[in-house]
Every structure is written in structure tokens, then in C-alpha cells.
Amino acid sequence: MEQENLLKQNQWEAGPDEELKIPEVYLSRLKFEIVIFTAKKDFTFRCSEYEQVPGGGWRFVHVIIDTSKLNPKGDVELKRVTYHPELVLVNVPFMVMPAPEEVDTD
């Protein structure tokens, strides 16, 4: 079994009718769902923990973001999930919720 390096960025892709396979170690840590509010479009990601950092920013750890490619109709052309070991946001409004028990990768 291959050891996963949680300190490196990673990405998984699958076709629209294929199953997206993400190693369980990435999904089992997700405790929070974060909703980011922007002028153009709100988006969400999940993380294992978060904290305020000096200077007023927020640091999110073990971040999973759905970066799937959609066509103009909104249909999925490519399933894609991106992992970031850490993400820091400054001056960005957001809301935190508990992550649902089961992570849907479809």
C-alpha cells in the first residue's frame, strides 16, 4: 500500500461517468465545511481544522476543494478534486459548518 504524503498538494480526476477515487486518508480528516462569500460566486471547501493567524487571516488545514470542470449548461465534463495541505485567506468573508458525515465524491 502506497503511503500518502499529506504535506504535498494533490489532485484526482475522473470522467463524468467514472468513479472518482480519493484515498480515504484525505477524506477521513474533514471536519468542517467552509463557505466562502465572494462578489462573483460563493464556493465551498472542506478542511480538518482552522485557526486565526497574526494579521487577521485564517489558516485552513487539510483542504479539499471540488474543482470539477463544468460545461456552459452546468453539467460535469471532468470530475476533479484538489487537495491543499494548507490554505490561508485574508479579508475574505466565510462561514463554518460541521462537515456532513459522508463525503460525496460524485
Determine if the pTM surpasses 0.75: yes
Task: Give the percent of the chain with pLDDT over 70.
Answer: 93
- The answer to whether position 5 is within a domain reads no
- Half-sphere exposure of residue 100, counting CA atoms within 13 Å on the CB side? 6
Which tens digit of pLDDT belongs to each residue from 23-55? 999 999 899 999 999 888 888 999 999 999 998
- The answer to whether position 93 is within a domain reads yes
Nearest to 80 by CA among 22, 38, 33, 30: 22
- The answer to whether position 41 is within a domain reads yes
- The answer to whether position 62 is within a domain reads yes
In this prediction, residue 2 has a pLDDT band, given cuts at 50, 70 and 90, of: low
- The answer to whether position 28 is within a domain reads yes
Pairing of strands 10-14, 76-89: antiparallel
- The answer to whether position 2 is within a domain reads no
Count how many domains the chain has: 1
Residue 93 domain boundaries:
10-98
- The answer to whether position 52 is within a domain reads yes
User: What is the model's pLDDT at position 102?
Assistant: 60
Strand, helix or coil for residue 76 = strand
